[in-house]
Chains A and B, each alone.
Chain A
Amino acid sequence: MRFQFAGLALALLLCQYAAADSNTEASSEAALPSIRLAPGDDKSGYDSTAYQTNSLSLEHRKGTALNLAAFAIEPQLGLPDPKESLELEPNAAEIALGRRLFFDRRLSRNQTMSCAMCHIPEQGFTSNELKRPVGFEGRSVKRNAPSLLNVRLYERFFVDARETSLAQQAWSPLLASNEMNNPSIGHVLEQINRDPVYQQQFKQAYGKPADMLNVGYALAQYQQSLLAGDAAFDRWKYASDKTALSKSQQAGFELFTGKAACASCHLIGDQYALFTDQQLHNTGAGYQASMLGEQKEITVILAPGIETTIPAEVAQRVGEPKPNDLGRYEVSLNPKDRWKFRTPTLRNVALTAPYMHNGEFLTLKDVVNFYNQGGQAHSALSPLIRPLNLSATEVDNLIAFMQSLTSSKLKLLVADAFAADVQDPE
């Protein structure tokens, strides 16, 4: 263990050196810090009595800042020209400010919740540890927290595509009663403008105190720097590195673009791959949650390798009713839009479990099995979703392919996030 820590320290040093040098160099594999891209509290294998913990120390959760302004415009294999996907011109002062805001737990009504509490850096900027995040005072949130990696590549935001810019998006969680629950925009601004560091930072970045617009800009500045391409798949596809993908992953690619037709929605282009068509579709996942699946009993995990089954009504006595979610319909009120959700990118998908708008799919295998059976049949199902007749090996190959989409840049971004101070009341 001690050895590992020394290794981490060394890697961080190297990374610091490289980052200071140039970001292009910083992105090279050798300089990557040994950061775990998973919860620091590892629960893999928990369903077995042989489970062993593999937990990291929070005291050692330290990182190295990255030059995000340069990083945000650095071309990455597999991604479109970075200059074309910018919402705002990257600016170091604004990014630094946005990063501080992002990790500031004081920005919620009772000063306990930052953006990063639901979009946790080492968990793919989402929450791996629950299906749907928990908001202010523990209130339920009905949707899974999406990853913020590559978020700027979306044309519209939220899983129902209801928001049109990142800068605007920021006010939704700040004001939502079940997220950060601030009583008003003015309240947030006063809170920010009381802090001497912010006074300084806003002056430097915007020449004036925090206001409704620049808070959104600053948060957008930070989030648009979270670009994470250059995955093994990209080296294979866009840099002719034939060894970058395993046989199984290559077979998975053939299925993804062929027999399984995943790429009809999760697009892969000749120059780059967004893995989204930016459109809304009904895969049946929403229909299934709304209309089916009344369980009589539920299986409850009690400890490693120990579970029990209890009548659903026992859980109902201590729980609120399951939330309903009609997807795009909730925005448009058009019955044709019932259970339609925006196609998510699949970049870094191996790190962003659980899946779908409600987090009800715990593993990539659950997702592929769902598609394999033809989603959930019903009258509004997308015509592109149909039974696939994939063999078990084909299912595994598809999963292996999706595991090749993890960015080589991620550790840099997570190390940078670890270097950010978390703000709490002082």
Chain B
Amino acid sequence: MIKSLFKVACGLFLVSASGISHADETCMSPYMAKIVGQEDFVYVWTLGEEGLGDEQDKLVTISVNPDAPDYGKVVDSLSVGGRNEAHHSGFSDDRRFLWAGGLDSNKIFIFDVHTDPAKPTLHKTIDDFVSKSGGVVGPHTFYALAGRMMITGLSNNKDNGGRTAMVEYSNKGEYVATHWHPTDEDLRGAEKSGQFADGYGYDVRVMPRRNAMFTSSFTGWSNYMMDFGTMLADPEAMKRFGNTAVVWDLHTRQPKKVFDMPGAPLEIRCAWKPNNNYCFTTTALTSQIWLMYEDEQGEWQAKAVADIGDPSKVPLPVDISITSDDNGLWVQTFMDGKARYFDISDPFAPKQVYEKVIGSQLNMISQSWDGKRAYFTSSLLDNWDKKGELDEQFFKSYTWDGDKLNLEFEVDFKKEKLGSAHQMRFGAYGLYGMDRPWENEQSDEGADEAAE
């Protein structure tokens, strides 16, 4: 316990000489060291595609520091075997390891990203997630807590539907506990505040200063693995989406209140400022921005605060990202390939102020802590991505000048025979007290020493 508290303190207050201070790139766990300066690498958790290259999932490392000699290039690609439905990943609290999950195979790959940030290695593979967790399928979000990794599930091994749980692991990769989402039959002490308690899961975020943890809800294996067009035309399948978000007691891991949030609320992003006690999420199917906020009585509430595009056209908002000053929210819509920037200075009245088509399809965004750089990738889910020519697979690097996005470079994941580009995480030498190799070479001749 004391040890883990100490780790939190380290995470929160660590400041290093090379411009690294606490917390990341706006969507990371508050328990974790952040890169507030220039990131050196983006790690892209990539889905293998049949008939392309080596056909398997891989961690692709892209050099993104404009000062680096290999800027804009893929500097490493680490294949892990199989098409696991690579999806999301997250660092451990000390940021030395990157945990990346497969929504289909339920495998969890733990990469060492600290020994050589330019060349991650596979440190450990967990392949008994389902049996250890008591039947949870589809490890999705990897979210660092003190000394722990909280993993959200999407499905279960009984009916491949949406009822699921969060699963807690130690940093060492040992199973700790399963926290089932509240259902009507077993609310687990939570209040069902509206009509729904479906027991579905998707993302998790925490607000330690309010002792609060938030989860959202998506759909089970049989839907997220299904051909997207087939699913849209299957009314039974379309009923199997989550319509809830849950606020939990962070310390006890007990669910406290279930909110109705119709239409599959996905990514959750909490505000950073100490008095901004609210988090945003967007509903994929109903295309709304929702706010979960603490009211004057200290009670958590949820409210739809804006539409995204024309909801009747199903633009399908997927990834979102909040700026570190809590004033802006990027919302990506998959169907029209647009990045949309919302002014959220009034969190109850977000206004879209900018949009740009990034590609034929669009999912993830990662922005730098200062908001000046934004990276985008294309893939949503292997069987949901567009077909044929429309299935562009890319990583695109932009700068954001406050008014518009400017393309800096892009990597065509098909041309490079890599696969479908999914989630991105940042790496930097400074995180691990290392000097950037090219700065060494320029500044002193003693670089040899470091190399030995």
Contacts and interface: CB of A to CB of B under 8 A. Distances in A.
Interface residues of B, number: 74
B128 interface: yes
Interface stretch (A159-167, A236-244, A294-302): A294-302
Residue in B163, B221, B224 with the greatest tally of chain A CB atoms within 10 Å: B163
Interface string A1-32: 10011000000000000000000000000000
Nearest to A422: B157
Interface string A56-97: 111111000000000000000000000000000000000000
Given A43-B240, A51-B195, A53-B198, A298 B232 contact: yes
B127 interface: yes
Contacts of B223: 130
B222 A130 contact: yes
B229 A59 contact: no
B374 to A, nearest CB: 25
Nearest to A140: B227
A194 interface: no
Contact of A320 (B158, B227, B237, B241): B227
B130 interface: yes
B243 A1 contact: no
A184 interface: no
Contacts of B241: 303
A391 interface: no
B104 A110 contact: yes
Interface stretch (B248-256, B347-355, B384-392): B384-392
Nearest to A300: B232
A55 B196 CA distance: 9
Contacts of B159: 39-41, 117, 120, 122-123, 129
B382 interface: yes
Contacts of B314: 300, 302, 308, 310, 314
Given A4-B185, A426-B131, A301 B105 contact: no
B183 A319 contact: no
Interface in A86-144: 105, 110-112, 117, 120, 122-123, 127-134, 137-138, 140
B211 to A, nearest CB: 25
Residue in A57, A129, A134, A318 with the greatest tally of chain B CB atoms within 10 Å: A318
A313 B131 CA distance: 41
Contact of A58 (B127, B156, B234, B311): B156
A302 B263 contact: yes
Nearest to A311: B313
A130 B159 CA distance: 12
Contact of A319 (B186, B232, B313): B232
A53 B197 CA distance: 6
A179 to B, nearest CB: 13
Contacts of A1: 184-187
A131 B236 contact: yes
Nearest to A421: B131
Interface in B331-361: 335
A257 interface: no
A301 B232 CA distance: 8
B268 interface: no
Contact of A303 (B228, B236, B243): B243
Interface in B382-409: 382-387, 390
Interface in A281-304: 298-304
A54 interface: yes
Contact of A40 (B130, B163, B230, B286): B163
B184 to A, nearest CB: 5
Interface string A300-343: 11111010101000111111101000000000000000000000
Contacts of A112: 104-106, 137
A38 B204 CA distance: 30
Contacts of A298: 232-233
A137 B157 CA distance: 15
B131 A306 contact: no
B225 interface: yes
Residue in A50, A140, A317 with the greatest tally of chain B CB atoms within 10 Å: A317
Interface string B184-210: 111100000001111100000000000
B225 A57 contact: no
A318 B391 CA distance: 9
A375 interface: no
Contacts of B237: 129-131
A120 to B, nearest CB: 5
Contacts of B238: 300-302
Given A57-B180, A310-B313, A318-B386, A43 B105 contact: no
B147 interface: no
Contact of A301 (B127, B235, B385): B235
B105 A111 contact: yes
Nearest to B226: A134
Residue in A123, A301, A362, A423 with the greatest tally of chain B CB atoms within 10 Å: A301
B160 A117 contact: yes
27 contacts: A41-B162, A58-B183, A110-B82, A110-B84, A117-B159, A127-B222, A129-B159, A129-B161, A130-B231, A131-B237, A133-B222, A134-B226, A138-B85, A138-B224, A138-B226, A138-B382, A140-B227, A300-B238, A303-B241, A304-B243, A306-B286, A318-B386, A319-B229, A320-B227, A424-B130, A425-B130, A426-B131
Given A117-B160, A303-B264, 4 more contacts: A55-B163, A303-B283, A304-B195, A354-B236
Nearest 5 interchain pairs by C-beta: A319-B229, A138-B225, A303-B262, A57-B186, A301-B238
